[in-house]
Structure 1
Amino acid sequence: MCIYYINREDLTYESAEHILMAGIGGMKTLPKEYVSTQFNNDISKIEQEFLRESLISLPRQFLGPGKRGSLNPKYQSRSKVHLLRDSTDSEFSLGYMQKGTPYLIPQFKLNLNNGEIKIIINNNKPDKSNAILDNFHRNLQNPETLQIKRIIDNRLPENIIFFGIQDGIEEHFD
């Protein structure tokens, strides 16, 4: 019997619930028959928002743990895509933070006042510039597969629009 959904009868028990969220390092779980799969699925949406949107997301971006509590670099936590500001020239770009390091995503910056377009490619991978541009172009040719996210930030002038594409960067879009 599920300790949370006490009055429901249509429950299954396929996974164990972490006592403390895996995203903050919890490794111990309750026995499978204590928490239903349905509750686990429902609560995981709330946990994910908490881990990404609350203050707890800041230390996770710098120190970990990563996905499902893992310390493996392959599963490191990263922030959502947001505006980053370069400390050397105060320019904005789209990117995310992972283990305290900012990463830009491929993007173009459009100035609506003068029509200027600036192409920005991740400066951490200069040897892959052509492949990144090819992928960017390929994605633009299939607009029905694009996941759109609007970022509103009062630091950005109204005449500037960013358009960035990178596969697998965020899982959920509004």
Structure 2
Amino acid sequence: MSCIYYGNQEGLTYNKREHVFPASLGCKTMLPKGWVSDQANELFSPMEEILTRRSLISTERALFGPGKRGSLAPQKAAQSDVCVGVDEKGDRVLSYMALGTPYNISHFCRGAKQYRICLAVKDMPDAASKFISILNQFGEQTKYVTLTSKDISPDEVLVGYHKGKYYIAFHPSKKDCYHIEKEIKVFLSYSDAVLNAKNMREEQTHVKMGFQLQETPETSRMCAKILLNATVYLYGKEFAERPEFDEVRAWILHGNHSEKFCRLPSAVEEAEVLHKIVPEKSHWCQFGMIQNQFVGVLCLYGFWQWVVPLAYFDEPPIHEPNAFICDWENQKDYKLLDYILEYQGLSAKV
């Protein structure tokens, strides 16, 4: 066995299989076992999270799906990262988005003169007691996420909990003014009075959310990895292991050669032929030769596009373009010819 990324490096294991596109984006097609090592999979996992939860496409995923491991079930819907939002009453809240709907997490806000508590609707009817119990579990060594937002008043600090993570949010100018453990301890000392007060909110309100999205080298490396996965699937393992791909491999694994491969996304061209015939929100990538360069084009959600020159050849090794299409809404994947045949209604006759 050899890994298309790490080659014959010692100590590699092959217990898992690799999806062509990430499963979190809805792809069902997997590469044969033994083509991508477990060690490569472990490297890719945090980069995949950056792509699907913090890059520009994370908004599309939170709006449309798919959810966990590509599931279309509402209970497994993809969620955005928690961020600071402003509700219809003008209060700052901690929220996330799932399938286009904002949800508040359980949190409290300490202002200049009072506390305000907001409880997650999904945790009802015991949201208050659950929240207090979770806060009591916070200790000196507990990890947490820090958020800053100019929407928060300099006199306010928000502390919340969602899916195993604690959060503290404040105005950027107050970076060294708040400590989450102290805030939680003080809140708990007043918790009985706060929970019985009128400033406790249990209903879900409309929220304007301010996502902090960014494109990073890790996003671009993940896109190149998807393109190399699709290359090996469409053209074979022997082709993808050719030394002409060594530089893009080094980019994917180590971040080398960024001047050649680091790419920002752009909106897909409306005149793009493949874009016109594939399902509206599908993912796809296509390949072809431009003179002696083997070039891959990756499109996610039918909108964001990356164009990456994957390898340079002295003699063009292929002459026909090819593509891989992930129709995640219908849970189907295609090679280009298979999709064209189905698109034209000819698949049953072949």
Q: TM-score range by the shorter chain?
A: 0.7 to 0.9
- Residues 80-91 of structure 1 aligned to structure 2 (within 5 Å): 80-86=81-87, 88-91=88-91
Larger Rg: 2
Q: What is the CA-CA distance between 1:126 and the residue it aligns to?
A: 8.6
Say yes or no: does 1:103 pair with 2:99: no
Q: What is the CA-CA distance between 1:62 and the residue it aligns to?
A: 1.1
- Name the CA distance, whole Å, in 2 between partners of 1:75 and 1:20: 19
Match of 2:58 in 1: 57
Contact 1:139–1:146 (Cα < 8 Å) also in 2: no
- Name the CA distance, whole Å, in 2 between partners of 1:167 and 1:47: 19
- The alpha-carbon distance between structure 1 residues 55 and 96, as it changes in their structure 2 partners (threshold 3 A), is same
Among residues 118, 143, 154, which one is paired with 1:120 in the alignment? 118
Contact 2:145–2:165 (Cα < 8 Å) also in 1: no
- The alpha-carbon distance between structure 1 residues 67 and 2, as it changes in their structure 2 partners (threshold 3 A), is same
Contact 1:5–1:39 (Cα < 8 Å) also in 2: yes
SS in 1 for 2:34: helix
SS in 2 for 1:149: strand
- The alpha-carbon distance between structure 1 residues 8 and 125, as it changes in their structure 2 partners (threshold 3 A), is closer
Contact 2:144–2:165 (Cα < 8 Å) also in 1: no
Aligned residues: 164
SS in 2 for 1:47: helix
Say yes or no: does 1:135 pair with 2:114: no
- Name the CA distance, whole Å, in 1 between partners of 2:165 and 2:101: 15
Q: RMSD value over aligned CA atoms?
A: 1.9
Match of 1:148 in 2: 144
- Name the CA distance, whole Å, in 2 between partners of 1:158 and 1:28: 50
SS in 1 for 2:146: coil
Between the aligned residues of both structures, percent identity stands at 34
Q: Return the letter of the residue paired with 1:23.
A: S
SS in 2 for 1:34: coil
Give the alignment's TM-score, normalised by structure 1.
0.86
Contact 1:136–1:166 (Cα < 8 Å) also in 2: no
Give the alignment's TM-score, normalised by structure 2.
0.44
SS in 1 for 2:50: helix
- Name the CA distance, whole Å, in 1 between partners of 2:118 and 2:105: 8
Say yes or no: does 1:166 pair with 2:162: yes
Gaps of 5+ in 1: none
Say yes or no: does 1:70 pair with 2:68: no
SS in 2 for 1:139: helix
Match of 1:27 in 2: 28
Q: Return the letter of the residue paired with 1:85.
A: V
Q: What is the CA-CA distance between 1:169 and the residue it aligns to?
A: 6.1
SS in 1 for 2:132: helix
Contact 1:109–1:162 (Cα < 8 Å) also in 2: yes
Q: What is the CA-CA distance between 1:166 and the residue it aligns to?
A: 3.1
The structure with the largest strand share of the pair is: 2
**Where does structure 1 differ by over 6 angstroms across 4 or more consecutive aligned residues?**
none
1:16-59 CA distance string (max 9 Å, x none): 11111222222111001100011011111101111111111111
- Name the CA distance, whole Å, in 2 between partners of 1:23 and 1:125: 23
- Name the CA distance, whole Å, in 1 between partners of 2:74 and 2:93: 25
